[in-house]
Amino acid sequence: MSLAVFTSLQMVSLEDSVAAFVMFTLSLGGLFVNSLAIIFVWRTKALRNVFGGLCLSHAVADIGILFVFLVFAVPLTLLPPEFVSSRFITVISPRVGQLPPEFVSSRFITVISPRVGQLCILLWNCCVYSHFFIAVNRFVAICFPLRFQAVPQRSVFVFVVEGAVWLFGLLHSLPYSWPDCGFEYDPRSQLWNFEESACGDALMLVDFVEGLSCVSAIVLLDFATFAKIRFGKVTFRPGARLCPLLELRRWLVPSGKRPEETTADHLLRSGLLPRLALHWEAAELLLRLQLELQSLVPLRHDLHRLAAEPRPRRGRPARLQPRVPTPLPEDSEGASSSQRGFPSSAPSYNSITGPKREPLHGDVHATVADRIFETKRCRRFGIASDGFGPLRSEEEVSPSPWIAFREKLLLSVVALE
């Protein structure tokens, strides 16, 4: 047998030898890499989700295709068809038992090759569908993170997705088992060809349209995901979910952003408002929320100034003392109570925000900031306010700017709801 094989190898052209060597090298390397990928996905607990299951399915299908090339396409390329159809069968026949006569005939290639081609079609479509679902999973996770969190990541759902991928691949490969609908490997051209018949031509057209559609959808999804990551803008969609509290919590705690971006103007530029749209009737709520956010834009410099100040020390804050009004000169004894620096009437009182007072030091932006600092809820965050009395002077107040900013936005959204 070795002499016959050596004689047959001498008849192989240089082009066939190079093609067989390339297929052998790529198949062997691909089997090694995909095996490592399967081991890594199987041992990593963080990948026990839909994405990890799709990657595992993709790697298994790749291994199947590479194995077919390694044990079927490479030998057929190196050995002439006559040797495979007659001499090769007669040599291995005594070792594997008496084979049917049709396998010993010259139609050995036409009998085995279509079944191997059908297996390749099954594995190839599983690869394409796995890649498509991976692109969909990545697109939803990047562009719609809140909806992606609602997708179950349990093992049962992962098995359902993987089963759907292989079921679609199996259904797509069933027509290739019909007569005159084969998919064969041609050793002379090193190509997989459809059988020359009406059924083969129809399957070639269907396979081309289906493959082009899937690849185009994958490219569009990946491009949209890249655009979302690169530019970070979302177009207005009437069917989006209105969940302002979750969105604000996500945007009010940015990670890895520059200080100048952690302000209200960043929220306005980042496309937050279009995310909050439920339908066209929600435009009024969006407009009111936009006005609330725009009213906080002038606080940018105040927030940066407060961020530069030292943080308050831990422990219970000292009780605040009321602000003492500035008395008038001694020569104005006959002035009324309002002229001596006291208000003409008692300040309006609110159980949440505390008594209403004038801006500190004539700062027009201090009124909004004082409303934030004078709430009872701020006591949980260590802000110097007891919820009832006025604040101390600005030099004594050093709260975290994001606490104040977040409190104001959350209170505004609760009021809108």
**pLDDT digit string, tens, across residues 157-202:** 778 888 888 998 999 888 888 888 888 887 777 788 888 888 888 9
Q: Give yes or no for residue 289 having a pLDDT over 50.
A: yes
- DSSP letter for each residue of 310-378: PPPPSSPPPPPPPPPPPPPPTT-TT--TTTTTS-SSPPP--TTT----PPGGG-TTHHHHHHHHTSGGG
The helix/strand/coil state of 269 is helix
- Check residues 238 and 131 and name the one with the higher pLDDT: 131
Band of pLDDT at residue 147, cut at 50, 70 and 90: low
Residue range 10-232 forms a domain whose CATH class is mainly alpha
Quick one: the chain helix, strand, coil %, rounded to 5?
A: 65, 0, 35
Question: What residue ranges do the domains of the chain occupy?
Answer: 10-232
Higher pLDDT, 157 or 109: 157
pLDDT at 32: 94
Residue that is written with structure tokens 């925000």 in the block: 353
* Region of residue 314 (left: phi > 0; alpha: psi -120 to 50; beta: else): beta
Q: Is 279 left (phi over 0), alpha (psi -120 to 50) or beta?
A: beta
- Read off the pLDDT band of 145 (50, 70, 90): confident
User: Quick check: helix, strand or coil at residue 396?
Assistant: coil
Which pLDDT score, from 0 to 100, does residue 261 have? 42
Q: Left, alpha or beta for 341 (phi > 0: left; psi -120 to 50: alpha)? A: left
Q: What is the pLDDT at residue 278?
A: 39
Question: Which backbone phi and psi does 275 adopt, to 5 degrees?
Answer: -65, -25
Name the band, by pLDDT with cuts 50, 70 and 90, for residue 19. confident
Mean pLDDT computed over 352-380: 44
Check residue 180 and give its pLDDT.
Answer: 81
User: Cα–Cα distance between 203 and 206 in angstroms, integer?
Assistant: 5
pLDDT of residue 311: 57
Q: How many angstroms separate the CA atoms of 277 and 284, rounded?
A: 10
What pLDDT, on the 0 to 100 scale, is given for residue 308?
61
Average pLDDT of span 288-314? 59
Kindly state the average pLDDT of the residues 197-209: 88
pLDDT at 128: 92
Lowest average pLDDT, out of 121-125, 221-225, 276-280, goes to 276-280
Q: For all residues of the chain together, what is the average pLDDT?
A: 65
pLDDT in tens, 309-364: 665 555 555 554 444 444 544 444 444 444 444 444 444 444 444 444 444 444 44
d(CA 298, CA 300): 5
Question: Is the pLDDT reported for residue 61 higher than 80?
Answer: yes
Q: Is the pLDDT of residue 215 over 60?
A: yes
Where residue 216 falls among pLDDT bands split at 50, 70, 90?
very high
136 contacts: CB under 8 Å, gap ≥ 6: 221
Side chain identity, residue 330: E
> Is residue 78 over pLDDT 70?
yes
